[in-house]
């Protein structure tokens, strides 16, 4: 197993970067996290010296060190898709999966949804997930930093998409009835900035549907992946929602987006004033949450 230094990793992905000053937990701000793993998987036989840590205060799982914002912008705009598939454009199987997952998500949420409305898909790729909503009369809009995926979605699927990082979205306030973030919150540079933008763009009573995919992939391959900058659990999904003004309706590990995303976790929140801060929700669970996460990493054989 080859272990890359950060400098070697930056050369491997073809993106220049600098390590940014560690600012503490993204949810509660606490420092001194517990290190669970001291490297993450890049490819078979290749790892990089990035640690996966758990916040001792709220249980949030994330990668350290963080890089400067320039890295994330360049990586997801130019390198991410090529490293995954070797192509600038998404492969047909990915589009088919997006279309199918959109149907599963709509069916999973329809009892909570108005008959029609406006939805935002953050990290939409080619926009295939939105098709299930669009054909049922919804107005849909998606954003993604990968120009190849967005170009494909506009040309082939007729999706309303924009090439932009989630932190740069310019959205009118009180616009959307539903916000989908199906996995991409684990990739962004600043999840708090993204959720703040989404909350301002949501109508009162709007729904936020969040999916955590990073731990599911880690359990599948037996290692935490370098692409996921944080690893959402049902617990941390609820904390992020509460921090940004969504009341948590439920969280679950049921397969709400279909059989191609096994082991993902999900949460649904409603746009309201938060009754509790993230730290207030987390503190009673402090010791048991950290112990549970450590046991799970060992039980799931995540390296």
Would you say residue 59 has pLDDT above 70? yes
Q: For residue range 83-97, what is the model confidence (pLDDT) as tens digits? A: 665 667 788 999 999
Would you say residue 276 has pLDDT above 50? no
CB 39 within 8 A of CB 63: no
CA distance 211 to 268: 9
Pairing of strands 118-122, 139-144: parallel
Q: For residue range 5-34, what is the model confidence (pLDDT) as tens digits? A: 999 999 988 888 888 766 799 999 999 999
Task: Enumerate the CATH 3.40.50.150 domain ranges in the chain, comma separated.
Answer: 92-277
The verdict on whether omega for the bond into residue 65 sits within 30 degrees of 0, i.e. cis, is: yes
* CATH 3.40.50.150 correct for 92-277: yes
Could you tell me the pTM of the whole model?
0.93
Q: For residue range 180-236, what is the model confidence (pLDDT) as tens digits? A: 999 999 999 999 999 999 999 999 999 999 999 999 999 999 999 999 999 999 999
Beta strands in 213-264 (DSSP E): 230-231, 246-252
CB 53 within 8 A of CB 34: yes
Position 28 scores a pLDDT of: 92
| Three-state SS letters, 49-100 | CCEEEECCCCCCEEEECCECHHHHHHHHHHHHHHHHHCCCCCCHHHHHHHHH
């Amino acid at each position: 197993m080859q272990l890359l230094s950060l400098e070697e990793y930056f050369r491997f992905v073809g993106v220049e970067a600098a390590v940014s000053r560690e600012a503490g937990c993204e949810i509660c701000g606490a420092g001194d996290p517990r290190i669970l793993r001291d490297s993450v998987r890049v490819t078979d036989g290749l790892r990089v010296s990035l640690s996966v840590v758990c916040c001792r205060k709220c249980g949030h799982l994330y990668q350290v060190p963080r890089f400067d914002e320039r890295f994330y912008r360049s990586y997801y705009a130019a390198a991410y898709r090529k490293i995954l598939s070797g192509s600038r454009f998404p492969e047909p199987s990915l589009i088919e999966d997006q279309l199918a997952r959109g149907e599963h998500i709509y069916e999973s949420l329809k009892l909570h949804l108005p008959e029609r409305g406006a939805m935002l898909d953050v990290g939409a790729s080619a926009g295939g997930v939105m098709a299930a909503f669009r054909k049922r009369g919804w107005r849909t809009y998606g954003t993604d930093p990968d120009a190849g995926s967005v170009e494909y979605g506009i040309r082939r699927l007729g999706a309303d998409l924009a090439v932009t990082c989630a932190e740069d979205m310019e959205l009118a306030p009180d616009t959307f009835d539903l916000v989908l973030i199906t996995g991409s919150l684990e990739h962004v540079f600043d999840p708090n900035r993204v959720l703040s933008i989404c909350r301002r763009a949501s109508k009162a009573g709007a729904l936020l549907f969040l999916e955590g995919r990073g731990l599911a992939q880690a359990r599948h391959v037996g290692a935490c992946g370098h692409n996921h900058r944080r690893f959402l659990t049902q617990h941390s999904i609820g904390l992020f929602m509460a921090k940004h003004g969504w009341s948590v309706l439920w969280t679950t590990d049921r397969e709400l987006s279909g059989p191609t995303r096994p082991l993902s976790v999900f949460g649904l929140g409603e746009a309201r004033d938060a009754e509790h801060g993230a730290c207030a929700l987390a503190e009673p669970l402090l010791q048991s949450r950290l112990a549970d996460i450590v046991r799970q990493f060992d039980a799931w054989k995540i390296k």
